[in-house]
Amino acid sequence: MNETYVHGYHPRENERLQDQARTLVDLLHSDTAYPGGSMVLEVGCGVGAQTVTLAQRSPDARFTSVDVSADSIAEAKRRTDRAGLTNVEFGQADIFALPFNGESFDHVFVCFVLEHLSRPVEALAILKRLLRSGGTITVIEGDHGSTYFHPDSPAAHAAIQCQVTMQREAGGNALIGRQLYPLMVAAGFDVVRVSPRMVYVDSSRPDLVDGFTRKTFTTMIEGIRESAIAAGLIEPESFDAGVHDLHRTTEADGVFCYTFFKGVGEKRRHA
Ligand SMILES: C[S@@+](CC[C@H](N)C(=O)[O-])C[C@H]1O[C@@H](n2cnc3c(N)ncnc32)[C@H](O)[C@@H]1O
């Protein structure tokens, strides 16, 4: 992989991905189910946070889940084994060098991966070649520019901006959600449909306060503290004030909003 993977592979990050997946299952997966017998490729499966849900929701589909990180693959395998799933095979592979023949899969699923790539259209075009005619791709990405909250806080926005800047400098794009439609069209997919999936959190939804605002989003920002400071992007006091203000949004009168984007495109049979 050419790009530096900005979130890293620490146990705390693995746990964060699990919290994120658990909290967002219905929002992100409710309309994804694959027919029995279909072959599905999941690229960038990480520690299997989405894989378990995908394979449980489509028990008669066959999943091939790959990631560039061998350690993540090993953890993903442990998780699907623990869940008793037998319809997933894992492999280590880079999205730009996938070891599959063209037209090998009926469907492709990619979640929170394009944001880390400097050549997302090229990656999508590679995935299109692996699809059979009539197949679909599903792509889910976040967009940190969609974050707003109450009480509002310039310090919190500055801490979030550190993540956006670091991801850009690592070759990725933390604002990619808003670009899903043009990226998928540029890669040659047909009938592309993108739907925004907004997470709205207030204290009447304690599961989301804990699972999303605290353990998914704020934990992600906290995780870049040392590198953001080392890169000279922010002073420690300002960063800590921003994180404090993100936690402040989890109090009784706080509100937190974030939007994910889910795109589905087809590979049409062309005459
Ligand atoms: C934020 S994680 C998302 C994991 C999982 N899809 C999820 O939603 O929890 C991004 C994953 O993409 C993987 N990745 C990054 N660049 C990759 C590449 N070039 N080829 C394959 N996987 C890649 C990383 O190793 C990481 O596991």
DSSP character at residue 202 = E
**Helix 236-248, helix 154-169: angle, nearest 10:** 110
Q: Which helix (H) or strand (E) holds 200?
A: strand 190-202
Q: Which among 4, 22, 52, 68 is the best mutation to test ligand 1's pocket, defined by most ligand atoms within 8 Å of the CB? A: 68
Whether the CB-CB separation of 259 and 197 falls below 8 Å is answered with yes
Which residue's CA is the closest to the ligand 1 atom numbered 9? Answer: 49
pLDDT band at 2 (very low <50, low <70, confident <90, very high): very low
| Rounded Cα distance, 89 and 192, in Å | 28
Cα separation of 96 and 195, whole Å? 27
Residue 6 Cβ inside 6 Å of ligand 1? The answer reads: no
Please determine, for residue 5, whether its predicted confidence score (pLDDT) is greater than 70. Answer: no
Does residue 15 surpass a pLDDT of 90? no
**Number of C-beta neighbours around residue 191 at 10 A:** 10
User: Any bridge partners for residue 41, and if so which?
Assistant: 64, 108
- 265 pocket-lining for ligand 1 (C-beta < 6 Å): no
> What's the whole-number average pLDDT of the chain?
94
| β-bridge pairing 255-266 and 190-202 | antiparallel
Q: How far apart are CA 89 and CA 83, in angstroms?
A: 14
- Whether the predicted pLDDT of 21 surpasses 90: no
pLDDT of residue 7: 67
b (16+ CB within 10 A) / e for 129-161: ebbeeebbbbbbbbbbebbebeeebebbbbbbb
pTM listed for this prediction: 0.93
Q: How far is the CA of 266 from the centre of ligand 1 (A)?
A: 22
Per the CB < 8 A criterion, the answer to whether 113 and 263 are in contact is no
What pLDDT is recorded for position 12? 77
Q: How much is the pLDDT for 43?
A: 98
**Cα of 32 to ligand 1 centre, how many Å?**
20
pLDDT digits (tens, 9 = 90+) for 176-194: 999 999 999 999 999 999 9
If you search the block for the tokens 């939804």, which residue do you land on?
Answer: 205
What distance in Å separates the CA atoms of residue 199 and residue 205, rounded to the nearest whole number?
11
CB 82 within 8 A of CB 18: no
| Dist. CA 151 → ligand 1 center (Å) | 33
Confidence at residue 255, expressed as pLDDT on a 0 to 100 scale: 98
Residue 16 one-letter amino acid: R
8 alpha carbon – ligand 1 mean position (Å): 10
DSSP string across 130-193: HEEEEEEEEEEE--GGG-EEES--HHHHHHHHHHHHHHHHTT--TTGGGGHHHHHHHTT-EEEE
